[in-house]
Amino acid sequence: MGTPAAASSAFAVSGPFTAINVYLTEGGARGTISTSSSLHASAQNRYRSHLVRTTAYGLIPAEFRKKARRLPTAPKPTTANTFIRRGSLKSVTRRRTVLDFARGRGPYVWITAYDYPTARLVDEAGVDGILVGDSLGMVVLGLPNTLGVTMADMVRHTEAVARARPRALVVADMPFMSYEPGPEMALRNASRLVRAGADAVKLEGGAEYAHIVEKLVKAGIPVMGHIGLTPQRVLTLGGFRMVGKTEEQRKKILEDAKALRDAGVFAIVLEFVPASLAKEVTESVEVPTICIGSGPHCDGQILVLHDVIGLSERAPSFAKRYADAATLIKDAVARYAEEVRKGLFPAKEHYRD
C-alpha cells in the first residue's frame, strides 16, 4: 500500500527486512513494507498479517514493540486511560466494565437510551452507564406499561445502542416473562442480549429470583438487580406507586437486597422507595446502589432520557426535566412545513441543477 497523504501517527520498526512503516489514518492502520530482494513473498504476507492485527495502544505487534521508535508526528495520549480508536483520529477514554462499579467510587450517572443517536449523545455527555430499559415500551412504543415489551424489542434496541460503541457500560433489561419461567430460559435470553451488545443484563425482583441471578453470573453474564417499585409487577402492585412505606415492605426490600448481593449482582437499582430505606439498603450491602426516585443516599442515580429532555407525556414526580426537546422538535418541524408551503425550501443551496 502507498503512504497516506495525511497520517496522524507513524511508527518505524527494524526487522529482518528494510523497514515497516505503520500509519494511523481515518481509514485505520496502514503500512508499507520495504524488503530486500531475498525476502520471500510468503514472508511478506506473514508480516502484512501482523500489521492487520495491530492493537489500538501500540499499532504494532507485541514482538516488535520494544524495537519501535515513535516518530515526532505521533499523537501523545492525554491520560493513561485514553487511546486512539482504530479508524478514527478521536482520542477516547477506555470502555467501562462492571469492575469499574464498586462502592466508594461514585456517584455514578446512569440514563436510558434506546437507539443509536441517543446512545451516542448521552455517551458524549459523559454518563457512566446506559440502560436499554424496557421502559422503551412506554416512551418509544406508546404502550401503557412495560408488559408488552418482547425479547425481540430488547434485542433490536440493544443492537442499536451498541452500534454507537459507547464508552459507558451498556445494560439491557430482561423483559417480562423472559426469565421468570426458570434459569434455563433466563440464560438463553440473557445470552441473546449479550450477543446483541449488552455488557450486562438487569432483571426485576428480589430473593425469589436469586437462583436465576446466580445461574447467569456463573455463566459469565453480569447482572444488575432491581427492587422496590418493579414495573413488571404493576398488576400486583396496583399501579406505579411508592413501595417500602410499611415495615413489612421495608423488611422485604432489605432481604431482597442482601439476597441479590449474595447471588452476585454487581449493582442494585432501588426504584421509588423512601429515601430513608434507600439509605439503609445502601449501608447494608457492599455493592453499589442506583436510585431512581429514592433520594440522594445511593451510590448513583438513573433517570429515563425522555423525562430528562422533556419528551415524556407524563413524567413521574421524581424526575427532573433539564430541557424542552418537545417544543424544540415541534418548532423545527413547524418552520420546515411553513417554508415548504411558501416555496422557500428547498433553496438553491439545497439542490443541484
- Give the C-alpha separation, 319 to 305, whole Å: 10
- Give the C-alpha separation, 184 to 199, whole Å: 20
pLDDT of 185 reads 98
Q: Would you say residue 80 has pLDDT above 50?
A: no
- Contact at 8 Å (CB) between 118 and 207? no
Q: Would you say residue 171 has pLDDT above 70?
A: yes
Cell of residue 78, nine digits = 492525554
Which range of 43-52, 84-93, 269-278 scores highest in mean pLDDT? It is 269-278
pLDDT of 34 reads 41
- Give the C-alpha separation, 263 to 133, whole Å: 22
Q: Would you say residue 99 has pLDDT above 50?
A: yes
Other Cβ atoms less than 10 A from the Cβ of 331: the count is: 11
Residue 338 belongs to what H/E stretch?
helix 325-341
**pLDDT over 70 percentage in the chain:** 74
- The three-state secondary structure class of 198 is coil
Pick from 68, 65, 72: nearest CA to 19? 68
Annotation says 271 is catalytic = yes
- The three-state secondary structure class of 207 is helix
Cell of residue 99, nine digits = 469492575
Pick from 128, 208, 191: nearest CA to 154? 191
What average pLDDT is seen over the chain? 82
- Give the C-alpha separation, 121 to 62, whole Å: 35
Q: For 57-76, give one letter per residue: b (16+ CB within 10 A) or e.
A: eebbbeebeeebeeeeebee
The DSSP code sequence of 220-233 is T--EEEEEES-GGG
Render pLDDT for 177-204 as a digit per residue (tens, 0 to 9).
999 999 999 999 999 999 999 999 999 9
- Give the C-alpha separation, 307 to 188, whole Å: 32
Question: Do you find a cis peptide bond into 61, omega within 30 degrees of 0?
Answer: no
Q: Would you say residue 205 has pLDDT above 70?
A: yes
- Contact at 8 Å (CB) between 210 and 255? no
Cell of residue 230, nine digits = 418493579
Render pLDDT for 282-321 as a digit per residue (tens, 0 to 9).
999 999 999 999 999 999 999 999 999 999 999 999 999 9
Render pLDDT for 222-265 as a digit per residue (tens, 0 to 9).
999 999 999 999 999 999 999 999 999 999 999 999 999 999 99
Q: Would you say residue 337 has pLDDT above 90?
A: yes
Q: Which of 204, 214, 271, 280 is catalytic?
A: 271
Domains of the chain with CATH codes:
9-86 (no CATH), 95-322 (3.20.20.60)
